[in-house]
Structure 1
Amino acid sequence: MSLQETIRNTFVPIHREGWVFIAAFAGVTVLLGVFSTNLFWIGLILTAWCAYFFRDPERVTPVDDRLVISSADGVVSAVGPAVPPRELDLGAGERLRVSVFMNVFSCHVNRAPVRGRIARIEHRAGKFLNAELDKASAENERNGLVIESPNGPVAVVQIAGLVARRILCFVEEGTDIPVGERFGLIRFGSRVDIYLPEGAMARVAPGQTAVAGETVIAEFGGPAAAPLIRVS
């Protein structure tokens, strides 16, 4: 790895949503330092973690309509059939669902798994159960998007977790979104479910690590050509 790549991977941009939290952590750290050197170092470590949490690195996204890309960094927690949330109006039938769990050390910027038009955005209040639990999909606070892709409607659901108390969505209904584009963020530890239309085949398994905007989690039928890539 070149020096330029090392620097780029180490010092990544911070998402704008994080600056107020980093400033708050830093302010408390300085205050603690007045009373105790040990508390100052603890605060400094927590401030560094906060900056790390809100990192927003560039990603190289495959551009191929047959590919579905992970919307979140983390560990694939579930792959299999499931019924989408009722408010997304996708019917009562099961669809292939891929779930990615983000812990407090994961990058929490969420990205579009496919390109298309955002047909629907629905937010639902709910509980704050451990996002790794399967019932979190139905019971936790969540925000769902339906993207009309070339292969049919794809639903992306941001789910709050045990620690997460705030779901942010940066896009609006009726707008077009390219694959890999940032659309939201969740604070602090959570999960993203992706519901896919008929014809999608999973390309990941539970326990596998996924990288938002880069990891192929599913594919639609047909021989796959070498995909183009976009840096975002």
Structure 2
Amino acid sequence: MSKVLLIDDDAELVEMLADYLSRDGFAVTTAHNGEKGLPLALGGEFALVVLDVMMPGTNGIEVLKQIRQQSQIPVIMLTARGDDTDRIIGLELGADDYVPKPCTARELAARIRAILRRMEPNPADNHQPITTGNLVLWPQQRRALWCGAPLDLTSTEFNLLEILARNAGATVSKQTLSENGLGRPLAKFDRSIEVHMSRIREKLGLLADGRSCIQTVIRQGYLLIRE
């Protein structure tokens, strides 16, 4: 039973979501503000955090910043519907995904399962690493090296980079990346993939010739350069 932490000041919504998630097989703990939720998120007890952006006191963006300073636990942000600014800021700070409010408990449960499922080792994979150029990934261990140094990746960033590495030298569409990396179809005007790719590029840095190893292929997708 996966343990999920739900941080939101909307008591009625929290009760509804917690009840549904509990009946859907999750062990749910709730916190109604960032001050109480942050130490719980950093305690190492939970598999995933659901975090509301708009809360009094320490808001969700600040909580996410502090989580990412110490942990790569998966985080799903709850954002106001139509508020692209909060979504993009959350993704840029390391959120794995977002769900616009008002949301259905069923949709949230599906997003949680998608992220957790992609963190589980695939029995079909052997223990051999994926190696392409300066990049080495161990999918079962969720571990990656770039130029011999550890890469500090969120769960979603690892998923996306693994997909590109398995297809190094070939273009991977944003639709494929969204479906296999985020666990959901790519929505119209959704910039999640672009933001995640920007973060991955920043962590990888540039090649010796000044290029990024992840190239954008206009109107097609992304390509990891095979060195």
Which bracket does the TM-score occupy, shorter chain normalised?
A: under 0.3
Richer in helix (by share): 2
Greater relative contact order structure (CA < 8 Å, 6+ sep): 1
Richer in strand (by share): 1
Q: Higher Cα Rg: structure 1 or 2? A: 1
